[in-house]
């Protein structure tokens, strides 16, 4: 398949930075200037062979939920057909549409259920242009041989900055003062308004976002403690605590940064709110199910919790518009919005130009590499397998991509099929019930390629096969 070369990638990234419209110019650091003065090994390296399993124009990509323009540009540079929609699609609409596409890009609102994926006869990969992947049935996708990619790092800074803003907003009751002044009420007060300097921030989940938040918070004079299920080295002077209760007992602000799992569901509920300091604040920009919101409402009414900032909810509207956030969506909505010092935002933690641009580049490149080269590094539901690229002088070579059930004897069967040919390189890995084999076979002609495909296609453990040549 046609693949982006190094210059195209560099130009795309620079264009993406310009597209983001950041008010700050991107400058070259002294280290970058020194590196730019060195001989470029990439230019001196052998030119990579472009793999062509079929015409790139036959590849159809469906992009939903206003995925960033950078992704559209990268896919079009590959020669793919791109269909773009600004909104999400419901299950019924997807059922009639998804069968025609080889890849789909979504954000958080589109639900790719087993019922939808069952109709995805041509689908080979899914791109979640966000951190979370809970909107996709990952196990079913893997069983169908569909690799799922996401962007675990690109919006970390944007979310961390939003949380910092919410910490100050809650401490100073800025939301209430703003609403009052918008309605003509002048209410200059200092009661229960605080500086954040010297207070303690408790971070639940010290991953990419939690650790960035830690650094920003310390720079503002906050003491940082964190709780995680694994031992993680602290940044700065932050300290890891042994239990969640210890964090809740000590923190003035509690910010959650955990995935949605059965273990994290209602991670903060009535017992946890009772364990918190009187007058503490709760911030959730992770997943809507990790905070028991009815219990939070009761804790705020009892003046146990002094304020809360929520960016995510158990059920969220499928599209923008007036009146979409209501009691029909979540039964407690009216009660929540009536409380003082509650900051509610519509899942915008990662919604900055910089983050969406970076996500567009990261996920679209991951999908392109999987389509063009079979490279599954970064897949969240799939074995991570990669082989170095072929050189232009490697003619009459085919790359075999064989996805199969992870059961004994499969590799022996496959290698028996391939043993009549020269296997230049080969790599296999497994993830649960799924295994993935990549192999480059040289000195083959069209007849050999057809025979390899037909024999592999007859193996009982096969899930899917692709040949790149």
Active centre residues (catalytic): 287, 316, 347
Q: How many separate helices (H) and strands (E) can be counted in the chain?
A: 17, 16
Alpha helices for 318-458 (secondary structure H): 333-337, 353-373, 410-418, 446-457
- Measured in residues, the chain has a length of 469
Q: Which segments of 205-252 are extended strands (E)?
A: 223-227, 239-240
List, in order, residues 6 or more apart from 261 with CB less than 8 Å away.
none
H-type alpha helices, 283-346: 293-301, 333-337
Angle between the N-to-C axes of helices 156-172 and 174-182, in degrees from 0 to 180, rounded to the nearest 10 = 70
Closest CA to 382 of 150, 207, 103: 150
Q: How far, in Å, CA of 336 to CA of 310, rounded?
A: 10
| β-bridge pairing 398-405 and 462-468 | antiparallel
Rounded Cα–Cα distance for residues 300 and 432 (Å):
44
Q: Which helix (H) or strand (E) holds 74?
A: helix 69-77
Q: Which residues contact residue 56 at a Cβ distance below 8 angstroms, ignoring those fewer than 6 apart? A: 1, 2, 78, 79, 80
**Cβ-based neighbours of 150, under 8 Å, separated by 6 or more:** 127, 128, 129, 130, 131, 132, 133, 363, 378, 380
Residue given tokens 């990969």 in the structure block: 125
Q: Alpha-carbon distance 122 to 110, whole Å? A: 19
For 297, the token pair is: 């409402």
Distance CA 214, CA 222 (A): 9
């Amino acid at each position: 398949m046609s693949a982006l070369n190094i210059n195209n990638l560099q130009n795309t990234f620079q264009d993406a930075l310009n597209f983001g419209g950041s008010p700050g110019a991107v400058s070259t650091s002294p280290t970058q200037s020194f590196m730019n003065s060195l001989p470029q090994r990439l230019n001196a390296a052998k030119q990579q062979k472009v793999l062509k399993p079929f015409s790139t124009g036959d590849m159809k990509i469906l992009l939903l939920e206003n995925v960033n323009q950078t992704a559209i540009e990268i896919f079009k540079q590959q020669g793919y057909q791109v269909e773009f929609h600004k909104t999400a699609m419901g299950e019924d609409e997807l059922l009639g549409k998804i069968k025609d596409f080889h890849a789909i890009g979504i954000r958080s609102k589109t639900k790719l259920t087993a019922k939808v994926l069952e109709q995805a006869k041509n689908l080979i990969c899914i791109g979640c242009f966000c951190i979370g992947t809970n909107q996709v049935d990952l196990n079913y996708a893997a069983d169908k041989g569909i690799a799922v990619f996401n962007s675990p790092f690109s919006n970390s800074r944007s979310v961390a900055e939003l949380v910092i803003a919410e910490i100050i907003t809650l401490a100073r009751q800025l939301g209430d003062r703003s609403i009052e002044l918008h309605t003509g009420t002048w209410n200059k007060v200092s009661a229960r308004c605080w500086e954040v300097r010297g207070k303690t921030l408790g971070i639940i989940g010290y991953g990419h976002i939690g650790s960035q938040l830690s650094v920003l918070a310390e720079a503002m004079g906050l003491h940082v403690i964190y709780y995680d299920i694994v031992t993680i080295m602290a940044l700065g002077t932050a300290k890891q605590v042994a239990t969640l209760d210890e964090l809740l007992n000590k923190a003035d602000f509690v910010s959650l940064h955990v995935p949605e799992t059965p273990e994290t569901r209602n991670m903060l509920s009535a017992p946890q709110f009772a364990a918190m300091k009187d007058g503490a604040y709760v911030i959730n920009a992770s997943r809507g199910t990790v905070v028991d919101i009815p219990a939070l409402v009761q804790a705020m009414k009892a003046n146990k919790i002094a304020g809360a900032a929520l960016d995510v909810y158990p059920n969220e509207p499928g599209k923008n518009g007036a009146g979409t956030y209501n009691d029909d969506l979540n039964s407690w909505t009216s009660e929540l919005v009536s409380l003082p010092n509650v900051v509610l935002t519509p899942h915008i933690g990662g919604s900055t130009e910089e983050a969406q641009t970076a996500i567009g580049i990261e996920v679209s490149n991951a999908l392109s590499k999987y389509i063009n080269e079979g490279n599954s590094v970064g897949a969240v539901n799939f074995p991570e397998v990669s082989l170095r690229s072929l050189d232009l002088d490697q003619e009459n070579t085919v790359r075999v991509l064989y996805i199969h059930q992870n059961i004994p004897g499969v590799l022996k069967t496959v290698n028996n099929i391939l043993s009549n040919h020269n296997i230049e390189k080969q790599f296999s890995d497994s993830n649960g019930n799924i295994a993935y084999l990549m192999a480059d076979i040289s000195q083959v002609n069209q007849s050999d390629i057809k025979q390899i495909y037909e024999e592999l296609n007859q193996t009982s453990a096969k899930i899917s096969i692709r040949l790149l040549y």
